[in-house]
A and B are shown apart, each in its own frame.
Chain A
Amino acid sequence: MTNLIDKVLKQRKDPYDVLGLVFSNFQQASQKQKMPNLEKLFVLLSASFEIQAKNREKDSILQKDQKELLEGFQKSMQADLDRHFTEGFAKATVLGNRAVLRALTWGKKVNAIQNTLIKRFLQLGDELIKENERIQVCQACGFIMVKDSPPGVCPVCKAPAKRFVTF
């Protein structure tokens, strides 16, 4: 844990958002381990750090208009594609770490799909989502699409429709 967080700290001094995600990840793990009381404590900590992260960043995020913000997203995603996914694939292949390869394979696909959706949103705005359509997200891998109902199986990770969340 400290090894990962030390590396995060080299990039960001106050990683409130990352701590929130560390706790939300453990929240899910506790649920799977059938430890509802422990889960509750992680829910609390995850929510607390998400609120703190939002309070600190809110003003600077909302200062930008949505176009500027999304162009920033695209830049960050392109950097991930050019460097982190590519380097990660090469290293994980050489080292034979299949778990990391799995995460990078799905992550890279989702990264590309998000990028396409952002491009379309920049062109169409609100019209991206037509009447009766909604945003569908696969909770197993992060796959995102616009459709009236979730697909039968996730095209990226093959999770069934019930793993989808609709917005």
Chain B
Amino acid sequence: MFAARNVELCAKDCACLYVCPTGATDTEDGKIDAEKCIDGCRLCVDACPSGAIHLVYQRIPKRDLPQDELTEILSKLLVNKAGLFLQSKVVADGEKSKNTAGFFAGLALSNKILAEDCIRESGHLVPEAERLDDFVQSGLIQRLYKQSHKDTEALEQILSTIVRVLREHRDAETQAVFLCEECGQVEIGENPRTCPSCTSDRIKGF
């Protein structure tokens, strides 16, 4: 567990600077240095008069999955809301009238939130290494992706990076990643400039 600062609440009271035994709170980028922070110490959390510091779990307590019958119902709601999200998004993106586009974009976001809520309450509030690994191993992600992309190497690499980071409970710098905004092809490492699947040059880097 390490401390993190919510800069929206921070009023520069600086009590954290005085109580921190390692100087982890004394930074200029607004963030608390997780490397220096002492696991579970919480002196700064209690000292902050603005309530701007909290502890973040590195090892997230495992959450029980809900009863099977509830997952069944949530899955039906999820499919319906995901469908409404997608349809609204497509209409909003292609709509010229500002009001109508706004109406559909709003419906899209509203349904996205309802759909994500079904996923969260099915026991997937946070990604967990084991459960996500099982999901990756099931091959569904790759099967769907393959239907419009020949090369799945970058996708596999990205999925295994995610599982590794989750297993190690530690965020790690990764190579640059790229997305083809035309067909959804993903790449890691070098910028491909043109998409190897659809030859579009609409490549976005992250």
Contact = CB atoms under 8 A, between A and B. Distances in A.
Contacts of B120: 25, 103
Interface in A5-55: 5, 7-9, 11-12, 14-19, 21-22, 24-26, 28-30, 32-38, 40-45, 47-55
Given A55-B183, A103-B118, A128-B103, A37 B171 contact: yes
B135 interface: yes
B135 A1 contact: yes
Contact of B171 (A29, A32, A35, A87): A35
Interface string A88-126: 100110010101101100110011001001100100011
B160 to A, nearest CB: 11
A5 B105 CA distance: 26
A3 B68 contact: yes
Interface string B130-145: 0110110010110011
Main DSSP-derived SS at the B contact region: helix
Interface size class of B (residues with CB under 8 A): 35 or more
28 contacts: A1-B134, A4-B71, A11-B75, A16-B144, A17-B85, A21-B119, A22-B119, A29-B125, A30-B127, A34-B4, A34-B34, A37-B165, A37-B173, A41-B177, A47-B184, A51-B183, A52-B184, A53-B86, A77-B80, A91-B73, A95-B69, A95-B70, A106-B117, A107-B114, A107-B118, A125-B100, A129-B99, A135-B106
Q: Which 3 A-B pairs have the closest CB atoms?
A: A135-B106, A142-B113, A7-B75
Interface of A: 1-5, 7-9, 11-12, 14-19, 21-22, 24-26, 28-30, 32-38, 40-45, 47-55, 57-58, 61-62, 66, 69, 72-73, 76-77, 79-80, 83-85, 87-88, 91-92, 95, 97, 99-100, 102-103, 106-107, 110-111, 114, 117-118, 121, 125-126, 128-129, 134-137, 139-144, 165, 167
